Amino acid sequence: MKQKGFTLVEMMISLFIGGLVLGGVMFTYIGMKVTTKDTMTIGEIQESARLAINIMQRDIEQIGFWGTYYDDSFVAGNTTRASATTPAPDCFEGANNGSFPDLASTTNFRTIYAK
């Protein structure tokens, strides 16, 4: 009676080929995992940059916008600085144009250096 089955050589060859295929699949999986992580990191950086640019865009678009000020709100008390002095290292060029807020003033807009 003849037994059916694989010989030891056939079994070793099939295990070797299976190991090569499994190694290739694992190599591809690990490579894709690293690529996905890098892509996610780049996407987060781009999203942070996009958010920063949108915030800057809104600020730049609203330069000179007085918000809640109306015609009767523009009086000397809230459109001029209480004093023209600024801290020593500050930049200053005219009224309401300094890089540091005038703490003595009660205005509700932020001052920036402008010329």
**pLDDT higher at 38 or 106:** 38
The first and second tokens of residue 57, run together, are 């865009």
Residue 89 has pLDDT above 90, yes or no: no
Mean pLDDT of 31-53: 94
Contacts 24+ apart (CB under 8 A), 101-107: 105/78, 105/81, 106/77, 106/78, 107/78, 107/79
Span 72-95, average pLDDT? 57
Residue 86 has pLDDT above 60, yes or no: no
